[in-house]
Structure 1
Amino acid sequence: MDRVLAVLVALPPALVLALVFLLPALEASTFLGLFVPGEIAVLVGGVVAHSGRLPLWAVIVAAVAGAALGDQAGYLVGRRYGRGLLARTPRGRVRSGELRRALDLVRRRGALAVVIGRWAAALRALVPGIAGLSGMPQATFTLANVAGGLLWSVTVAVLGFLAGASYRLLERRLGLGGEAVLAVIVVVVAVWLWRHHRAARRTGPARRG
């Protein structure tokens, strides 16, 4: 994970912005979110925005657009292909508990599940398709999708921006080089993602209990 983050931060700003759009867009539409969480690109976009190479608003707009369009595509696939969608989920990456959790969340929470599900990588990849499969009205899903995507994108991008701000200050006060600051940012973001993933897995069994 740390190598991926280091490579992303070092990319040209235009390419970072493209990834900020693409990774969230592909999470639910192609199940990429089961392998690579979209927040990686958005966090890095926030860090790059703090460096002055990208405006923060552009990172947020790209993230919102990618998240909303990708989940909308996932919803339409689920609505059209129904149960076949579940049969195509990569079983090596999806535990039966995660699939049941997504199904249960949509059944109990409806449109709110679309907003809640965005905060866990596995749910983010599965909930849109399951929402389409469940027969949730498209207008209802779209409203929840845009609202959830906006909240998620702003939060994650600002976290990345604040991480960049914190370690730029550390660089000035301690005389650290740019490479050291980058290394610290990579470690902090990687730990944040790891803890977020663990917390999401722990809440699954707790809710089922």
Structure 2
Amino acid sequence: MTIEAIVAKYGLAALFAGAALEGEAAVIAGGVLAHHGLFPLWAAMLAAATGSFGADQAWFFAGRRMRDHRWVAAARAKPAFARAMAMLARRPIAFIFAFRFIYGFRTISPIAIGTAGVSPRLFAIVNAASAVTWGVIFCSIGYWFGHAFEAVIGRLAEDHRLWWVVGGLVATGIAAALAHRHRSRTA
């Protein structure tokens, strides 16, 4: 079985899971794969939207039903939780729609919203609209800029010096994340 056949067979399931767990990078990659014709763009958008919607619904209900659980208490202790609650108090519907577009708020926000007593029906409706918008935007980015992504990847494959640059950037990102994590644990 060729790689194209494997991606064509499991690509949408992987896109669904990637949208639920990782986010934008997986969805943009799904748009690039749709650009290559491995599956239709509408199917990539649907997989991205439903993956994101499902994960956020699960986090919402976890926050709603397990308010006193230790991992929800740990989430409450994070500064992002307090910021999410403040934004939710000011503009609840706008925040429910926008949290997935705000870096650092994607996972913590549905938990916070769930603990805040927001109606499950309201959350589901606004979350669905937001997930569809998000899936369409990020799949479209991958689809419409597929040629540009391919050109960059092609240059990386041809010029081995660029791999050192990419490796350095990845190492710097990992070091910064570890330093941030260490500082947040000791603070």
Question: Same fold, TM exceeding 0.5?
Answer: yes
Structure 1: gaps of 5 or more residues: 1-8, 27-36, 195-209
Give, in whole Å, the separation in 1 of the partners of 2:73 and 2:122.
Answer: 25
C-alpha displacement at 1:44, in angstroms? 0.4
Give, in whole Å, the separation in 2 of the partners of 1:160 and 1:76.
Answer: 31
The TM-score normalised by the length of structure 1 is 0.65
Q: Which residue of 2 aligns with 1:21?
A: 16
Give, in whole Å, the separation in 1 of the partners of 2:19 and 2:81.
Answer: 20
| Structure possessing the higher radius of gyration over alpha carbons | 2
- 1:62-94 per-residue CA deviation (whole Å, 9 max, x = no partner) reads 011111111111111111011434324498xxx
C-alpha displacement at 1:55, in angstroms? 1.0
C-alpha displacement at 1:101, in angstroms? 1.4
Q: Which residue of 1 aligns with 2:40?
A: 55
C-alpha displacement at 1:16, in angstroms? 3.0
**Contact 1:49–1:59, Cα closer than 8 Å, also in 2:** yes
**Contact 2:75–2:81, Cα closer than 8 Å, also in 1:** no
Structure 2: gaps of 5 or more residues: 174-187
Query: Identity of counterpart residues, as a percentage?
Result: 30
- 1:177-202 per-residue CA deviation (whole Å, 9 max, x = no partner) reads 8945xx9xxx7xx99xx9xxxxxxxx
- 1:114-139 per-residue CA deviation (whole Å, 9 max, x = no partner) reads 11101124211011111111000111
Please list, as runs of the form range in 1=range in 2, the aligned pairs for 1:1-209 lying within 5 A after superposition.
12-26=7-21, 37-84=22-69, 85-89=71-75, 96-166=78-148, 179=157
Give, in whole Å, the separation in 2 of the partners of 1:159 and 1:77.
Answer: 31
Give, in whole Å, the separation in 1 of the partners of 2:8 and 2:84.
Answer: 35
SS at 2:104's partner residue? helix
SS at 1:155's partner residue? helix
Give, in whole Å, the separation in 2 of the partners of 1:83 and 1:105.
Answer: 22
Give, in whole Å, the separation in 1 of the partners of 2:17 and 2:83.
Answer: 26
The TM-score normalised by the length of structure 2 is 0.72
Give, in whole Å, the separation in 2 of the partners of 1:140 and 1:63.
Answer: 21
Equivalent pairs counted in the alignment come to 159
Give, in whole Å, the separation in 1 of the partners of 2:120 and 2:66.
Answer: 15
Give, in whole Å, the separation in 2 of the partners of 1:167 and 1:125.
Answer: 27
Matched to 1:133, the amino acid is T
Give, in whole Å, the separation in 1 of the partners of 2:26 and 2:149.
Answer: 19
**Contact 2:81–2:112, Cα closer than 8 Å, also in 1:** no
**Contact 1:83–1:133, Cα closer than 8 Å, also in 2:** no
**Contact 1:45–1:59, Cα closer than 8 Å, also in 2:** yes
**Contact 2:41–2:139, Cα closer than 8 Å, also in 1:** yes
C-alpha displacement at 1:154, in angstroms? 0.4
